[in-house]
Structure 1
Amino acid sequence: DRPQSLFPLMTLYAKHCHFCMNQTDILDFLKRENYDIAIIDPFNPCQFLIAEKLGIPYIVFFAGPFSYSLGNGLPSPPSYVPMFLSGFTDRMNFLERVINTFMYLGSYMVEIRNEQIFRGVIEEHFPPDSRPTLSDLHHKAELWIYNMDFSIEFARPLLPHIQYIVGLRAKPAKPVSQVSTRIRFTAFTPNNEIIQHMIYTQVKSNIKK
Structure 2
Amino acid sequence: MLAPLILLSAGVAALAGPAGAARVLGLFPHSGRSHQMVFEPLLRALAERGHHVTVVSFFPLDQPPANYTDVSLEGISPIGVETVNIEEFESLYSPYAWPRVLGVDRVLSQFLGFHPLAEMAVNICSKLVELPTLREALQKKYDVVLVENFSSDCMLGLLQAYGVQAPRVALLSSNLMPWSAERIGAAELPSYVPTVSTEFTDRMTFLQRMENAFVKLGLKQWFHYLIQEKEQELIEKSLGKKVDLQALAKNTSLMLVNTFHGLNGVRPAVPGLVEVGGMHLQRARKPIPPVSAP
Q: TM-score higher than 0.5 here?
A: yes
Q: Is the 8 A contact 1:17 1:121 kept in 2?
A: no
Instruction: Please list, as runs of the form range in 1=range in 2, the aligned pairs for 1:16-165 lying within 5 A after superposition.
Output: 16-20=127-131, 24-28=135-139, 30=140, 34-43=141-150, 44-52=152-160, 53=162, 54-68=164-178, 69-72=180-183, 73-112=185-224, 113-124=226-237, 125=239, 127-128=241-242, 131-133=243-245, 135-165=246-276
Alpha-carbon distance in 2 for matches of 1:146, 1:27: 25
Q: Secondary structure at the match of 1:118?
A: helix
Shift of 1:71: 4.8
Task: Work out which of the two has the higher radius of gyration on C-alpha atoms and give 1 or 2.
Answer: 1
Identity of aligned residues (%): 21
Q: Which amino acid aligns with 1:74?
A: A
Describe the shift of the 1:100–1:35 C-alpha distance in structure 2 as closer, same or farther (beyond 3 A): same
Shift of 1:9: 0.6
Alpha-carbon distance in 2 for matches of 1:55, 1:21: 20
Alpha-carbon distance in 2 for matches of 1:19, 1:71: 30
Q: 1 or 2, which has the higher helix percentage?
A: 2
Q: Which amino acid aligns with 1:145?
A: L
Q: 1 or 2, which has the higher strand percentage?
A: 1
Alpha-carbon distance in 1 for matches of 2:253, 2:240: 21
Q: Which amino acid aligns with 2:272?
A: H
Shift of 1:126: 5.5
Describe the shift of the 1:121–1:168 C-alpha distance in structure 2 as closer, same or farther (beyond 3 A): same
Q: Secondary structure at the match of 2:159?
A: helix
Alpha-carbon distance in 2 for matches of 1:23, 1:95: 47
Q: Which amino acid aligns with 1:87?
A: E
Gaps of 5+ in 1: 177-203
Q: Is the 8 A contact 2:129 2:158 kept in 1?
A: no
Q: Which amino acid aligns with 2:206?
A: F
Describe the shift of the 1:24–1:166 C-alpha distance in structure 2 as closer, same or farther (beyond 3 A): closer
Shift of 1:96: 0.6
Describe the shift of the 1:106–1:6 C-alpha distance in structure 2 as closer, same or farther (beyond 3 A): same
Shift of 1:70: 4.7
Q: Which amino acid aligns with 2:285?
A: K
Q: TM-score w.r.t. structure 2 length?
A: 0.53
Alpha-carbon distance in 1 for matches of 2:265, 2:289: 35
Q: Is the 8 A contact 1:36 1:57 kept in 2?
A: yes
Q: Secondary structure at the match of 1:19?
A: coil
Alpha-carbon distance in 2 for matches of 1:24, 1:174: 40
Alpha-carbon distance in 2 for matches of 1:24, 1:83: 35
Shift of 1:60: 0.9
Describe the shift of the 1:95–1:25 C-alpha distance in structure 2 as closer, same or farther (beyond 3 A): closer
Shift of 1:79: 1.2
Describe the shift of the 1:20–1:57 C-alpha distance in structure 2 as closer, same or farther (beyond 3 A): farther
Alpha-carbon distance in 2 for matches of 1:21, 1:118: 18
Alpha-carbon distance in 1 for matches of 2:133, 2:234: 10
Q: TM-score w.r.t. structure 1 length?
A: 0.72
Alpha-carbon distance in 1 for matches of 2:132, 2:247: 19
Task: Work out whether 1:173 is the aligned partner of 2:284.
Answer: yes
Q: Secondary structure at the match of 1:76?
A: coil
Match of 1:10 in 2: 121
Alpha-carbon distance in 2 for matches of 1:21, 1:97: 47
